[in-house]
Structure 1
Amino acid sequence: MGAEVAIGGWNQTPSGTMGYKSFSDSIDLENEAKYDSATQVMARAKIDMPLFIPNIYLMATPMKFDGTGQKTQNFDFGDKNFNASAGFYSELVLNHYDVALYYGIPFLETLTADILSVELGIDARIMDVSATVRQDTFNKEASFSETILVPMVYLGFRVRPMEWLAFEGEGRGIAYNSNHYYDAIARVKFSPLPTPLRSLFIAGGWRYENIALDEKDIIIDVTISGPFLEAGVDF
């Protein structure tokens, strides 16, 4: 058995739209809600299991944005109608937690002298989705909060040309009906310290998520992307 644990920060830049109980009245996250980039913690752990037991990949990704903006026309969010003559405060939370079960392609690392490895599996993503729109001028507020389970396919690979350097990629995704969810991670990992500390590493890369969700009157079509840095240990 073995494990890898890492924690870091992801600079998340949101774009797209959100709505609630109204297909025609959506809020633009950049131009109307005025959401800015936010650096938030993310953490992950991979556990290599023995024999034929699937390996485990756990990941936590907090995601929260808020801002004060304004629309050029009245709009509905939930059961409330908001007035364009005044600004509004809004908050969007898309926290998600992953549990993946996967296998490595047998003998690939041995055949490539430990340079290439590929992982295939399934991922269960638990999403805590919530949003609030509030207009204090008119004493109006509407919100929703749901927990949604999203099953996904998982694919990962690693190219390690040197013992202290590795290039990694991860993809998770699903598409059904009018919904889809894609999550891609590209990572460069360094182990700069000599033996016996070579199990310590630092890594940096880019993460991209695209979500189109129409569930339980929640309408979300957003993209979140940006660079990240992390530090971790292999043991």
Structure 2
Amino acid sequence: MSTIIEHAPRLWEGLLVTLQLLVLGSVLTLVIAFTAGLARMSRQFLVRFPAAVFIEVFRGTSMIVQLFWFFFALPMLGIELPGFAVGVLVLALNEGAYAAEVVRGAIKSRPAGQTEACIALGIGPVTRMRRILIPQSIPAMLPAFGNVVVDLLKNTSLVSAVTVLDLTYQGQTIRAITGETTAVFTTLLIVYFVLSVLLSFLVKWSERHFAIDRVGKSNGARLLSLPGISRGGTT
């Protein structure tokens, strides 16, 4: 235990890097998930096909190999990125590919009657998706998104392979210096577990906050506020 206390500043620095990877990776994952998920639903082949290829490639290959390719192979093509940027990008691309299917599945699960009602009211596809279908699908997405974020947190440990000074990298360094394998890696297990639990609580809070009954009331008010729609029908 004295070893952990002595090297606590180094572990703290690694933890901050891990949290940065988590936050930036999660934000970029959401952007990629909605972009690829909605593109996957497009009726246009030139939009749908690249999205499908992206999803299958990043879901079907190893994340550690993806990290090595972006860090070691991409510079051979004239594009060189720092290790931290590679870590954030690969984490987001990989997790975003999984989350894109979450987005697509949640939106596809909406009752067909909602789309038919929007068409009957003259609501266009973009407005229909942005104001009605996506907001109502968010509660269904949250549990799966929570799993994706927890998985992203755990996968941040892989970026140590491309020289990113995250928590795992710092732990490995301390272990090499002190030889205290059990104490160091037990500490890492506890830290990652605590972070995962905190993320789970955050997701559960979000599920309650965006509960379907609350979202339904909000969307009902939005629908009535759209141009051409009143409580008595269309105008």
TM-score range, shorter chain: under 0.3
Higher relative contact order (CA 8 A, sep 6+): 2
Report which of the two has the higher share of strand. Answer: 1
TM-score by length of 1: 0.27
